[in-house]
Structure 1
Amino acid sequence: MQQASQLMVDKRTLKQIIRELKRWKAPATVLLTLYIPPGRPISDVVSLLRTEYSITDNIKLKRTRDAVQRALAAAMDRLTRIQKVPPNGLAVFCGEDMETKDFICFVFSPPEPVPVFFYRTDKWFHTEFLEEMIEQEETYGLVIIERDQATIGLLKGTRIQVLEELEGYVPGKHHKGGQSQRRFDRQIEQFVKGFYREVAEAMNKHFLPLIEKGVLRAIILGGPGYAKQDFLEEARDFLDYRVRQKIASKTVDVAYQGEAGLRELVIKAADIIEQNKYAELAKAVEEFKLHLAKDDGLAVYGDKMVKTALEMGALKYIIVDEERPDADTLAEEAKKYGTKVYFLSGDLPEAEWIRKTFKGLVGVLHFRIM
C-alpha cells in the first residue's frame, strides 16, 4: 500500500507534471482524467471505474476500446494500492499515445485540496483544476500603455505571460491651424480616450478573476512619457474599483511593448515587486555573466565544479534548470550549506543559453577557490 506522504507533490513538481500532461493529445477520447476530493472512499471510486470499464465493451472501434480499457485498468490498479485518499485528495491521469503506443499513468496528491470529483475520458488531459493551484503563486498584473498601443501581461513566480496586445487608431498631427486645428486636436483626444477605455475594459476582463481568487498582489503600470498618468486620469471611470485599488502608486518608464517590454517592466519595477523571483533570477544571471566575462574565477559551471564548490561552502548561489532530473536533490543539498537556489525559468532570455552551454547548472562564488 502506498502512503499519503509518498503521493504528495509540491508546486514546482506540479508545474512539470502539467507541462508533461499538456503534451499528450489523442485522435479519440481515450485519455483518462480523474480528480478525487478528500474524504471520498477509494472503494467507491474503483467501483465507478469498474462500471465504466464494462460499458467500454460497447465501443465499436477496437483500437479505441483497447486504449480506453488500458487507461481504466491502469487507474484501478494504481488506486487499489492506496489505502486512503490523502488529505488533499488525488489526481489521476492515465492514457496512451495511439500512434506510438507510449503510455503514462500519473497518480498523485496535489499541493492544495482537490475541489471537486471529476471523471472524464477525452482527447486531452484536463489539467484546469491543477492550473488553478499554480495560479496561487505570487502574481502581478503588468500593463504597458501608450496613446495607441498597450500590452497586458502577468508575472507568476518567475514566468512572464502576455495576455493581450492592443492597438488603437490615433491620427497624425493636423497642420491647418485655427479652428480647424482645435477641432482636429479634440478629435485626436477622443480617439485616445476611446483607446484608453478599451485598455481599461481589457484590464477588468483579465485581472478581476485573479482579484476574486485573491492571488493578484498588485498591478504594475509602465510606458513612455506621460501616457501612464494620462491613462490613469482618463480611464478612471472605466476601471473597476477593485482593479484601480491594485494599481501601484509608482509607475515605470518602459520603452518597448510586447514580451520584451514586460521583461523590462519587471526588472525596473523590482522595488515595487519586492524581491520578486523573476527580478531576483534576472539579476543573478546578470551577475554570473559579469563574472564570466571578467574571468575573475567567481563564475562556476558544470556538475563537478559546482558540486565541489558547494561542498566547500564557497557558493553564494546556484542557478539550476528546473527540468534537470536532479534539480530537487541539488536544491536540498544547497540548502544544507546555506546556498541560495534559483530555478531557471524558460521565460528568461538566457535560459536556453544556460541549458545548452552549461547543461542547466551554474553558480557564483563568495570567494575564489582556485
Structure 2
Amino acid sequence: MLRQEYSIAQNIKLKRTRDAVLSAIGAAIDRLSKIPKVEGNGLVLFCGENFDTEDFKCFMFSPPEKVPLFFYRTDKEFHTEFLEDMIEDTAVYGLIIVERDEATIGLLKGTRIEVLEELEGFVPGKHMMGGQSQRRIERIIEEMYHNFLKEVGDKVNAYFLPFVENGKMKGILLGGPGYAKEDFYKEDYIDYRIKKLILQPLIDVSDQGEVGLREMVMRAEDLLKNQQYVEVQKLLEELKYHLAKDDGLIIYGINEIRKAMEMGAVDSLVIYESNDKELEKIAQEAENYGVKVFIVGDELPDAEWVKKTFNGIVGKLRYRIS
C-alpha cells in the first residue's frame, strides 16, 4: 500500500510538499521492511517533517494496549487520538452482568464504557412434571445453568486476567437482575485473583448490554468515587439542572469561558473531543487555572448534546457573574 502511495505522491505539484511526503513514505517503507512479523499489541508508525524547524522524525513502537484499528493518513500532523485513551487513565474497572442465560462483560476506562462480549445461553424455566421426570429435568436444567455460568467465568478470566497481571485492574463490578450474580460470585467460576477484586455489595441491574453496564456504573457511584465516568455524568446532570433553572451557574462560548476563568469563577468544563485547536488550547489554559476538565467522546451518551448545543464546550461556575 505504501509503495502505491509513494507512486501517487510523485504527482504532487508543490516540490516542498512532494519531497516531504516522499521522504515520510520512504522512511516508513524502510522501517516496515525490516520487521518480519507484527505481534503483540500491533504497530504504530509516525514519519514526517516539521516544516517550521525542518526536523525529520520517525517513531515506531508497539503501544501498551492493542491498536484498535487500521488507519493510514498523510496529513499536516500525527494522528494520536486513537491511542490517547491508553495513557490518559491506565486504571480500568471490570464490569460483569450475569443472569440465568445472559451475560455482558465490559470495561470502564476513564469516561468510556467498552462492551467486550455479550453471551446468551439456553436455560429453561421450571417444569411442572411430577415424580422422577421432574427431578431428572431439574437436574438437567441445573447442569445447563452451571455450564452457562462456567462459560461466562472462562470468558471473564480470558478478558480480565491480563489487566490483573499487569496491575491495571482497579476493581470489578458484578451485577444482574436476580440470584445468578450471587451464584456466580460464591462458586469457583472465576480465577481467585479476579474474585478478590469484586467490589461489594453486588449490584441489582435490570438490563444487559451497554445500557446495563451504564446502569450498573451509575448505581455503583459510592464504590467508584473519583472515577471519571461517574464524575462527568454527575456534572452533566448538574449542568442540565442549572440550565433548566436558568440560575446563571452554567457558562458556554469560548470567549465567555476564557473571561470567567481569568476571574477564577469556573469550577469545571466538559469539552467534546475533536481536532478543534481552539478547544485544545482552552483545555490546557483551564488546567492552569485549576479548572477540572473532562474530555468526552461519542462513547458518552450526552457528548452529542455538548457538541451540538454548546459547540463542544460547556462549564459550571463557582458563583454567578454579571
TM-score bin (small chain): 0.7 to 0.9
The structure, 1 or 2, with the larger RCO (C-alpha pairs under 8 Å, 6+ apart) is: 1
User: What is the aligned partner in structure 1 of residue 163 from structure 2?
Assistant: 210
**2:194 corresponds to which residue?**
243
Structure 2: gaps of 5 or more residues = 13-18, 29-43, 49-55, 64-69, 74-79
Matches of 1:333 and 1:63 in 2, distance apart?
Answer: 41
Alpha-carbon spacing, 1:124–1:321, altered in 2? closer, same or farther (3 Å): closer
**Structure 2 letter corresponding to 1:203:** V
Residue 256 of structure 1 and its aligned partner are, at CA, apart by 0.9
Q: How far apart are residue 30 of structure 1 and its match?
A: 4.3
Greater mean deviation of Cα atoms: 136-145 or 256-265: 136-145
What percent of counterpart residues are identical?
47
Within the alignment, does 1:363 sit opposite 2:300 as a pair? no
Q: Which residue of 2 aligns with 1:310?
A: 261
The residue aligned with 1:340 is: 292
Structure 1 counterpart of 2:240, from 278, 281, 289: 289
What TM-score do the two structures reach when normalised by structure 2?
0.76
**How big is the shift at 1:130?**
5.6
- Output the CA distance in 2 between the equivalents of 1:107 and 1:259: 41
Q: What is the one-letter code of the residue matched to 1:275?
A: N
1:316-343 CA deviation, whole Å, 9 max, x = no partner?
A: 2111123232334222322333322111
Aligned counterpart for 1:137 among listed residues 55, 67, 90: 90
**1:232 and 2:207 equivalent?**
no
Query: Post-superposition shift, 1:251?
Result: 1.5
RMSD, aligned CA = 3.5
Residue of structure 2 in register with 1:175 after alignment? 128
Residues 52-91 of structure 1, C-alpha deviations (whole Å, 9 max, x = no match): xxxx9xxxxx559989x9756126789xxxxxxxxxxxx7
1:93 to partner: Cα distance? 2.4
Contact conserved, 1:72 with 1:94, CA < 8 A, in 2? no
SS of 1:265's equivalent?
helix
Partner-residue secondary structure (3-state), 1:270: coil
Distance 1:364 1:154 in 2: 28
Q: Does 1:264 align with 2:215?
A: yes
Deviation of the 1:107 alpha carbon: 4.9
Gapped runs of 5+ residues in structure 1?
A: 1-27, 33-55, 57-61, 79-90, 96-105, 117-122
Given candidates 52, 74, 80, the residue that maps to 2:24 is 74
State the AA in 2 paired with 1:224: P
- Of 104, 125, 144, the match for 1:191: 144
Aligned length: 282
Residue 16 of structure 2: aligned partner: none
Q: 1:31 to 1:291 in 2, by over 3 A?
A: farther
Listed as ranges, the matches of 1:122-161 within 5 Å are 124=71, 133-134=86-87, 137-161=90-114
User: Relative to structure 1, is the Cα distance of residues 313 and 143 closer, same or farther in structure 2, using a 3 angstrom cutoff?
Assistant: same
TM, length-normalised to structure 1 = 0.66
